[in-house]
A = this chain, B = another copy of it.
Amino acid sequence: MKFGVVIFPSKNLQDAANSYRKRYDPHYALITPHLTLKNAFEATEEDAKQFADKIRQIAGKSKPFTLKTSKISSFYPVNNVIYFKVEPSKALTALHAEINKEYSEQNQEYAFVPHITIGQNLSNDEHSDVFGSLRMTKIDFEEVVDRFHLLYQLENGSWTVYETFRLGKE
């Protein structure tokens, strides 16, 4: 089955993201707004338990950190994903690197660009229209991240939380 690791930001930030996702993101109903720390990967439940043990240790050794958003960006022309840009920080980059050391056969072909997706699977024309109207929007959130989550995917595509990991707590 498929697993993934994400940060769910605060309710305020999720509500703001959903105001766009509702219109522009076909994954709107499958998962709430999130910052992906580790892309979906295939694992057995047994493997996932061991993975959870490892990232529980990583979480315990990490500290809560500040997450800041700044503006709306796009991965165009690589793909037509529009997102809230999250300012890279040492803590976030280190957490991402630590988590992705596990199951490192997973592809790492992209540099880590922390983001919260608000639109995807858009045609080129849609992307151009939507991003054109949103690109100057300021998205000024600043909040403390003190936890992240291991999820798994159901057959209908929706995601369920398997476990929460609190930073600096275990």
In the complex, what residues of B have CB within 8 A of residue A11's CB? 1, 45, 152, 154-155, 160
Interface residues on A, range: 20 to 34
In the bound complex, what is the Cα–Cα distance between A148 and B154 (angstroms)?
A: 18
Q: State the majority secondary structure of interface residues on A.
A: mixed
A163 and B166 within 8 A (CB): yes
Q: Does A164 contact B (CB under 8 A)?
A: yes
Complex-state Cα separation, A161 to B159, whole angstroms: 11
Does residue A149 face the partner (Cβ distance < 8 Å to B)? yes
Q: Name A4-59 residues within 8 Å CB distance of B.
A: 8, 11, 14-15, 18, 22, 29-30, 32, 45
Q: Closest CB of chain B to A119's CB: distance in Å?
A: 16
Cα(A154)–Cα(B29), bound, Å: 12
Chain B residues near A147: list those with CB within 8 A: 163
Q: Distance in Å from the Cβ of A145 to the closest Cβ of chain B? A: 13
In Å, the complex CA distance between A161 and B164 comes to: 8
Q: B residues within 8 A CB of A108? A: none
Chain B residues in 8 Å Cβ range of A22: 156
Is A70 part of the contact surface with B, judged by Cβ < 8 Å? no
Residues of chain A having any CB pair with chain B under 8 Å? 1, 8, 11, 14-15, 18, 22, 29-30, 32, 45, 147, 149, 152, 154-156, 158-164, 166
The 9 A-B pairs of least Cβ separation, nearest first, read A29-B29, A161-B161, A164-B164, A32-B160, A15-B155, A163-B164, A8-B160, A18-B156, A14-B154
